[in-house]
Amino acid sequence: MSFKIGNLEIENKIILAPMAGVSNSPFRILSRTYGAGLVFAEMVSDKGLLFNNEKTIKLLYMTDVEKPMAQQVFGSDLKTMVEAAMYIEKNSNCDIIDINMGCPVPKVAIKAQAGASLMKNPDMIYSIVSEIVKKVKKPVTVKIRSGWDNQSVNAVEVAKRIEEAGASAITVHARTRAQGYGGFADLDVIKAVKEAVNIPVIGNGDVVDGPSAKRMLEYTKCDAVMIGRAALGNPWIFREINAYLKDGTIIDRPTHQEIKEMMILHFNSLADLKGEHTAILEMRSHGPWYLKGIEHASALRKQLSQTKTKAEFISHIEAFFE
Protein backbone atom coordinates (compact mmCIF):
# COMPACT_ATOMS: atom_id res chain seq x y z
CA MET A 1 0.00 0.00 0.00
CA SER A 2 2.93 2.38 0.58
CA PHE A 3 4.71 4.54 -1.99
CA LYS A 4 7.49 7.12 -2.01
CA ILE A 5 7.71 10.83 -2.76
CA GLY A 6 11.42 11.53 -3.06
CA ASN A 7 12.93 9.65 -0.10
CA LEU A 8 9.77 10.06 1.96
CA GLU A 9 7.84 6.86 2.62
CA ILE A 10 4.05 7.35 2.57
CA GLU A 11 2.36 4.52 4.47
CA ASN A 12 -0.75 4.23 2.30
CA LYS A 13 -2.42 5.58 -0.82
CA ILE A 14 -5.01 7.88 0.78
CA ILE A 15 -4.19 11.59 0.99
CA LEU A 16 -6.00 14.63 2.41
CA ALA A 17 -6.32 17.47 -0.12
CA PRO A 18 -5.28 21.08 0.59
CA MET A 19 -8.60 22.88 1.18
CA ALA A 20 -8.75 26.55 2.14
CA GLY A 21 -10.30 27.03 5.58
CA VAL A 22 -10.47 23.26 6.13
CA SER A 23 -7.04 21.58 6.02
CA ASN A 24 -5.72 23.30 9.14
CA SER A 25 -3.82 21.58 11.94
CA PRO A 26 -6.85 20.19 13.89
CA PHE A 27 -8.41 18.69 10.75
CA ARG A 28 -5.07 17.31 9.56
CA ILE A 29 -4.63 15.60 12.95
CA LEU A 30 -8.11 14.04 12.67
CA SER A 31 -7.35 12.89 9.12
CA ARG A 32 -4.03 11.31 10.13
CA THR A 33 -5.65 9.71 13.19
CA TYR A 34 -8.25 8.04 10.96
CA GLY A 35 -5.76 6.81 8.39
CA ALA A 36 -4.66 9.45 5.86
CA GLY A 37 -1.14 8.48 4.76
CA LEU A 38 -0.22 12.09 3.92
CA VAL A 39 -1.96 15.40 4.60
CA PHE A 40 -1.72 18.66 2.67
CA ALA A 41 -2.00 22.00 4.45
CA GLU A 42 -4.20 24.71 2.97
CA MET A 43 -2.38 26.89 0.47
CA VAL A 44 -0.46 30.00 1.46
CA SER A 45 0.26 33.03 -0.70
CA ASP A 46 3.90 33.58 -1.71
CA LYS A 47 3.55 37.33 -1.25
CA GLY A 48 1.69 36.88 2.05
CA LEU A 49 4.73 35.03 3.43
CA LEU A 50 7.27 37.51 2.08
CA PHE A 51 5.34 40.53 3.39
CA ASN A 52 5.09 38.81 6.80
CA ASN A 53 1.30 38.79 6.73
CA GLU A 54 0.33 37.52 10.18
CA LYS A 55 -2.65 35.49 8.95
CA THR A 56 -0.52 33.79 6.27
CA ILE A 57 2.35 33.01 8.67
CA LYS A 58 -0.10 31.39 11.11
CA LEU A 59 -1.17 28.96 8.35
CA LEU A 60 2.30 27.38 8.53
CA TYR A 61 1.59 26.08 12.05
CA MET A 62 1.85 22.32 12.32
CA THR A 63 2.60 19.59 14.88
CA ASP A 64 4.68 16.42 14.59
CA VAL A 65 1.48 14.36 14.91
CA GLU A 66 0.47 15.46 11.40
CA LYS A 67 3.65 14.33 9.66
CA PRO A 68 4.15 13.47 6.89
CA MET A 69 2.69 16.76 5.69
CA ALA A 70 2.93 18.89 2.56
CA GLN A 71 2.73 22.68 2.67
CA GLN A 72 1.17 24.18 -0.45
CA VAL A 73 2.10 27.60 -1.83
CA PHE A 74 0.57 29.63 -4.67
CA GLY A 75 1.71 32.57 -6.76
CA SER A 76 2.70 33.41 -10.33
CA ASP A 77 5.90 35.43 -9.97
CA LEU A 78 9.08 33.37 -10.40
CA LYS A 79 11.19 35.36 -7.94
CA THR A 80 8.64 35.50 -5.11
CA MET A 81 7.64 31.84 -5.56
CA VAL A 82 11.27 30.75 -5.15
CA GLU A 83 11.72 33.02 -2.11
CA ALA A 84 8.46 31.73 -0.58
CA ALA A 85 9.54 28.11 -1.05
CA MET A 86 12.84 28.88 0.67
CA TYR A 87 10.93 30.64 3.48
CA ILE A 88 8.70 27.54 3.93
CA GLU A 89 11.71 25.22 4.03
CA LYS A 90 13.31 27.35 6.75
CA ASN A 91 10.23 28.17 8.84
CA SER A 92 7.92 25.18 8.47
CA ASN A 93 8.23 21.65 9.79
CA CYS A 94 6.61 20.23 6.63
CA ASP A 95 8.08 17.30 4.68
CA ILE A 96 7.07 18.38 1.16
CA ILE A 97 6.67 21.74 -0.59
CA ASP A 98 3.72 21.63 -3.00
CA ILE A 99 3.06 24.21 -5.72
CA ASN A 100 -0.57 25.02 -6.50
CA MET A 101 -1.25 25.16 -10.24
CA GLY A 102 -4.85 24.02 -10.02
CA CYS A 103 -6.89 26.44 -7.88
CA PRO A 104 -9.88 27.62 -9.99
CA VAL A 105 -11.26 30.43 -7.80
CA PRO A 106 -11.27 33.82 -9.59
CA LYS A 107 -9.29 35.57 -6.84
CA VAL A 108 -6.38 33.19 -7.45
CA ALA A 109 -6.74 32.04 -11.07
CA ILE A 110 -7.80 35.34 -12.65
CA LYS A 111 -6.90 38.24 -10.36
CA ALA A 112 -3.53 36.83 -9.24
CA GLN A 113 -2.91 34.87 -12.48
CA ALA A 114 -1.84 31.97 -10.23
CA GLY A 115 -3.31 28.53 -9.54
CA ALA A 116 -4.97 27.04 -12.63
CA SER A 117 -4.06 30.11 -14.68
CA LEU A 118 -0.51 28.73 -14.88
CA MET A 119 -1.84 25.78 -16.91
CA LYS A 120 -1.92 28.23 -19.84
CA ASN A 121 1.85 28.74 -19.59
CA PRO A 122 3.86 25.47 -19.47
CA ASP A 123 7.16 27.38 -19.88
CA MET A 124 6.41 29.41 -16.76
CA ILE A 125 5.49 26.22 -14.90
CA TYR A 126 8.83 24.69 -15.88
CA SER A 127 10.73 27.80 -14.73
CA ILE A 128 8.98 28.01 -11.34
CA VAL A 129 9.37 24.30 -10.56
CA SER A 130 12.99 24.01 -11.73
CA GLU A 131 14.13 27.11 -9.82
CA ILE A 132 12.40 25.97 -6.61
CA VAL A 133 13.86 22.45 -6.92
CA LYS A 134 17.34 23.98 -7.23
CA LYS A 135 16.91 26.10 -4.10
CA VAL A 136 15.27 23.72 -1.59
CA LYS A 137 16.22 20.32 -0.20
CA LYS A 138 12.71 19.04 0.54
CA PRO A 139 10.80 17.17 -2.20
CA VAL A 140 8.83 19.53 -4.45
CA THR A 141 5.46 18.41 -5.79
CA VAL A 142 2.90 20.15 -8.01
CA LYS A 143 -0.92 20.06 -8.13
CA ILE A 144 -2.45 20.67 -11.55
CA ARG A 145 -5.79 20.46 -13.34
CA SER A 146 -6.64 18.78 -16.65
CA GLY A 147 -6.24 22.16 -18.33
CA TRP A 148 -7.80 25.61 -18.47
CA ASP A 149 -10.90 24.50 -20.40
CA ASN A 150 -12.07 21.69 -22.68
CA GLN A 151 -10.26 23.24 -25.66
CA SER A 152 -6.93 23.23 -23.81
CA VAL A 153 -6.60 19.93 -21.92
CA ASN A 154 -2.82 19.87 -21.57
CA ALA A 155 -2.18 17.95 -18.35
CA VAL A 156 0.15 15.46 -20.09
CA GLU A 157 2.32 18.19 -21.64
CA VAL A 158 2.43 20.09 -18.33
CA ALA A 159 3.21 16.93 -16.34
CA LYS A 160 6.16 16.14 -18.60
CA ARG A 161 7.57 19.65 -18.08
CA ILE A 162 7.06 19.32 -14.30
CA GLU A 163 8.97 16.02 -14.30
CA GLU A 164 11.77 17.54 -16.43
CA ALA A 165 11.98 20.40 -13.93
CA GLY A 166 12.79 17.95 -11.14
CA ALA A 167 9.53 17.61 -9.19
CA SER A 168 9.10 14.49 -7.03
CA ALA A 169 5.36 13.90 -7.67
CA ILE A 170 2.31 15.37 -9.41
CA THR A 171 -1.31 15.55 -8.27
CA VAL A 172 -3.85 15.71 -11.09
CA HIS A 173 -7.34 17.06 -10.36
CA ALA A 174 -9.01 15.66 -13.46
CA ARG A 175 -11.29 18.63 -14.10
CA THR A 176 -10.56 21.75 -16.13
CA ARG A 177 -10.51 25.18 -14.53
CA ALA A 178 -13.72 25.96 -16.45
CA GLN A 179 -15.46 23.02 -14.74
CA GLY A 180 -14.58 24.30 -11.26
CA TYR A 181 -15.91 21.54 -9.00
CA GLY A 182 -18.84 20.65 -11.28
CA GLY A 183 -19.35 17.82 -13.76
CA PHE A 184 -17.22 14.71 -13.49
CA ALA A 185 -13.51 14.09 -13.17
CA ASP A 186 -12.01 12.54 -16.32
CA LEU A 187 -10.04 9.49 -15.22
CA ASP A 188 -8.54 9.17 -18.71
CA VAL A 189 -6.54 12.36 -18.03
CA ILE A 190 -4.99 10.86 -14.86
CA LYS A 191 -4.30 7.62 -16.75
CA ALA A 192 -2.58 9.51 -19.59
CA VAL A 193 -0.42 11.50 -17.15
CA LYS A 194 0.58 8.31 -15.30
CA GLU A 195 1.62 6.72 -18.59
CA ALA A 196 3.61 9.83 -19.59
CA VAL A 197 5.81 10.32 -16.51
CA ASN A 198 7.96 8.21 -14.19
CA ILE A 199 7.38 10.14 -10.95
CA PRO A 200 4.42 9.29 -8.66
CA VAL A 201 1.02 10.54 -9.79
CA ILE A 202 -1.75 11.26 -7.27
CA GLY A 203 -5.29 11.21 -8.68
CA ASN A 204 -7.87 13.71 -7.47
CA GLY A 205 -11.57 14.10 -8.24
CA ASP A 206 -14.78 12.23 -7.33
CA VAL A 207 -13.23 9.81 -4.82
CA VAL A 208 -15.94 9.54 -2.18
CA ASP A 209 -15.63 5.98 -0.80
CA GLY A 210 -13.77 2.69 -1.08
CA PRO A 211 -15.17 1.59 -4.45
CA SER A 212 -14.48 4.96 -6.15
CA ALA A 213 -10.91 4.98 -4.75
CA LYS A 214 -10.31 1.43 -5.97
CA ARG A 215 -11.72 2.28 -9.40
CA MET A 216 -9.40 5.28 -9.79
CA LEU A 217 -6.33 3.34 -8.62
CA GLU A 218 -7.03 0.33 -10.84
CA TYR A 219 -8.15 2.21 -13.96
CA THR A 220 -5.51 4.96 -14.01
CA LYS A 221 -2.69 3.00 -12.26
CA CYS A 222 -2.02 6.19 -10.24
CA ASP A 223 0.08 5.83 -7.09
CA ALA A 224 -2.41 7.34 -4.63
CA VAL A 225 -5.75 9.13 -4.45
CA MET A 226 -6.47 12.51 -2.90
CA ILE A 227 -9.66 13.12 -0.92
CA GLY A 228 -11.08 16.65 -0.82
CA ARG A 229 -14.75 17.48 -0.39
CA ALA A 230 -15.69 13.91 0.63
CA ALA A 231 -13.66 14.44 3.84
CA LEU A 232 -15.70 17.49 4.92
CA GLY A 233 -17.34 16.54 8.20
CA ASN A 234 -16.12 13.01 7.55
CA PRO A 235 -12.57 12.25 8.77
CA TRP A 236 -13.69 8.61 9.01
CA ILE A 237 -13.47 8.33 5.21
CA PHE A 238 -9.74 7.55 5.38
CA ARG A 239 -10.35 4.58 7.67
CA GLU A 240 -13.20 3.36 5.43
CA ILE A 241 -11.21 3.57 2.19
CA ASN A 242 -8.14 1.90 3.69
CA ALA A 243 -10.25 -1.03 4.93
CA TYR A 244 -11.94 -1.42 1.54
CA LEU A 245 -8.66 -1.32 -0.39
CA LYS A 246 -7.09 -3.84 1.98
CA ASP A 247 -9.65 -6.63 1.67
CA GLY A 248 -12.99 -5.23 0.49
CA THR A 249 -14.28 -4.65 4.04
CA ILE A 250 -17.11 -2.12 4.24
CA ILE A 251 -16.99 -0.40 7.62
CA ASP A 252 -20.23 0.82 9.18
CA ARG A 253 -20.84 4.54 8.98
CA PRO A 254 -20.12 6.37 12.26
CA THR A 255 -22.88 6.26 14.87
CA HIS A 256 -24.65 9.41 16.06
CA GLN A 257 -22.64 9.14 19.27
CA GLU A 258 -19.37 9.11 17.28
CA ILE A 259 -20.49 12.12 15.23
CA LYS A 260 -21.43 14.05 18.39
CA GLU A 261 -18.08 13.27 20.03
CA MET A 262 -16.16 14.17 16.85
CA MET A 263 -17.92 17.53 16.51
CA ILE A 264 -17.03 18.44 20.10
CA LEU A 265 -13.44 17.18 19.71
CA HIS A 266 -13.04 19.17 16.47
CA PHE A 267 -14.45 22.30 18.12
CA ASN A 268 -12.14 21.98 21.13
CA SER A 269 -9.08 21.44 18.91
CA LEU A 270 -9.92 24.57 16.90
CA ALA A 271 -10.55 26.56 20.10
CA ASP A 272 -7.19 25.47 21.56
CA LEU A 273 -5.40 26.61 18.41
CA LYS A 274 -7.34 29.71 17.37
CA GLY A 275 -9.47 30.74 20.30
CA GLU A 276 -13.17 30.25 21.02
CA HIS A 277 -14.48 32.97 18.70
CA THR A 278 -12.66 31.70 15.58
CA ALA A 279 -13.56 28.10 16.44
CA ILE A 280 -17.25 29.05 16.52
CA LEU A 281 -17.01 30.78 13.14
CA GLU A 282 -15.23 27.81 11.55
CA MET A 283 -17.59 25.24 13.06
CA ARG A 284 -20.51 27.10 11.46
CA SER A 285 -19.14 25.56 8.23
CA HIS A 286 -17.95 22.23 9.63
CA GLY A 287 -21.09 21.60 11.72
CA PRO A 288 -23.50 21.23 8.76
CA TRP A 289 -20.97 18.97 7.00
CA TYR A 290 -20.97 16.59 9.99
CA LEU A 291 -24.79 16.61 10.00
CA LYS A 292 -25.17 15.74 6.31
CA GLY A 293 -27.61 12.88 5.84
CA ILE A 294 -28.89 12.99 9.45
CA GLU A 295 -32.66 13.32 9.63
CA HIS A 296 -34.29 16.33 11.27
CA ALA A 297 -30.95 18.17 11.63
CA SER A 298 -32.09 21.39 9.95
CA ALA A 299 -33.01 23.05 13.28
CA LEU A 300 -29.59 22.20 14.72
CA ARG A 301 -27.87 23.61 11.62
CA LYS A 302 -29.73 26.86 12.18
CA GLN A 303 -28.81 26.91 15.89
CA LEU A 304 -25.12 26.33 15.13
CA SER A 305 -25.11 29.16 12.59
CA GLN A 306 -26.21 31.53 15.39
CA THR A 307 -24.08 30.12 18.22
CA LYS A 308 -21.84 32.61 20.03
CA THR A 309 -20.16 30.57 22.79
CA LYS A 310 -18.60 27.15 23.35
CA ALA A 311 -21.20 26.33 26.02
CA GLU A 312 -24.04 27.06 23.58
CA PHE A 313 -22.38 25.02 20.82
CA ILE A 314 -21.97 21.95 23.03
CA SER A 315 -25.43 22.21 24.63
CA HIS A 316 -27.14 22.39 21.19
CA ILE A 317 -25.26 19.32 20.01
CA GLU A 318 -25.88 17.32 23.17
CA ALA A 319 -29.59 18.19 23.17
CA PHE A 320 -29.95 17.08 19.54
CA PHE A 321 -28.08 13.77 19.91
CA GLU A 322 -29.69 12.83 23.25
Kindly list the catalytic residues.
103
Please tell me what DSSP assigns to residue 302.
H
| Ordered DSSP codes for 206-272 | S--SHHHHHHHHHHH--SEEEE-GGGTT-TTHHHHHHHHHHH---PPPPPHHHHHHHHHHHHHHHHH
Query: Sign of the C-alpha dihedral, residues 12, 14, 20, 23?
Result: negative
**C-alpha distance across the termini of the chain, in Å:** 40
Cis peptide bond N-terminal to 68, omega within 30: yes
Cβ–Cβ < 8 Å for 180, 198: no
> How far is Cα 183 from Cα 242, in angstroms, rounded to an integer?
26
Q: Which residue, 165, 166, 223, is CA-closest to 190?
A: 223
Residues shown for the chain: 322
> How far is Cα 234 from Cα 137, in angstroms, rounded to an integer?
34
7 three-state secondary structure: coil
> How far is Cα 177 from Cα 240, in angstroms, rounded to an integer?
30
Cβ–Cβ < 8 Å for 314, 276: no
Cβ–Cβ < 8 Å for 171, 143: yes
